[in-house]
Amino acid sequence: MKRALLFSSGITAIVVGVFALAYLTSAATTKFSFTGRGIVQEHDFSGKNMRLNFTQLSERAKDLGLGKSLDVSAGNAKFYKKDAKGKLRRVKQGNVAVGDEVSLRGSVKSDDRFVASRIVVIDTSFVMKGKLRTYSASSRQMTVDVDTSNFRSSNYVNNIVPFVFSSSLKVYSGGKSKPFDDVTAADQRVQVDGKLVNNTDLEVTAMYEKVK
């Protein structure tokens, strides 16, 4: 009798476990697939999530996320980024910087949670040339009257374009490096290299003075 009771209890526990598993699975079913773009705002490496500000979303997902900052599950996502030769390479979540723009695809779950399956860093690097109009080492801003650009040229060429930079800016003059706070704006022709961050700021990482 005691053995039968134990066996019965075991069966009951298994049945309860199966129903619990079924409930948890049904609670995370897929509603529909999505594609989109967004700006990386934060990483949660332990939880394998990343917070994105969605700038584009496929039609069914727009009401849920467009223009919003949401946590996206990235635990099973594959990450890709272009290397120095422009070839798309598989990378880790840690290789995606805050401020990077990414394209992604995945699924929206029944609890309206976004789960990514593929995340690709969008290349927003630029090389622009033109006359240095203004330069402030204290506020770390500059403007350049751009005449050539390999990035969105129709937006920047023949315009005075504002740039930002950090204290890690590398400045080169005549092939030699110099402190970034020794630069003066004297309409000399410069080359600025960097990338678009947060979908708004042109951030310069290297500047070359007196270029042709």
Question: 117-161: per-residue pLDDT in tens?
Answer: 999 999 999 999 999 999 999 999 999 999 999 999 999 999 999
Rounded Cα distance, 38 and 113, in Å: 16
Mean per-residue pLDDT pooled into runs of 10, the chain (212 residues): 50 44 55 96 95 96 96 96 91 94 96 97 95 96 97 96 96 93 91 93 96 90
* Residue-level pLDDT at 25: 40
* Residue-level pLDDT at 3: 52
* Residue-level pLDDT at 199: 85
Q: Residues 6 or more apart from 212 whose CB is under 8 A from it?
A: 189
- 86 alpha-carbon distance from chain centroid: 17
User: Which domains are present in the chain?
Assistant: 32-121 (2.40.50.320), 125-209 (2.40.50.320)
> What is the DSSP annotation of 7-27?
HHHHHHHHHHHHHHHHHHHHT
* Residue-level pLDDT at 22: 41
* Residue-level pLDDT at 107: 97
- CA-to-CA separations, 10 to 15, 16, 19, 24, in angstroms, rounded: 9, 10, 14, 21
Rounded Cα distance, 180 and 169, in Å: 6
* Residue-level pLDDT at 84: 82
Rounded Cα distance, 43 and 30, in Å: 24
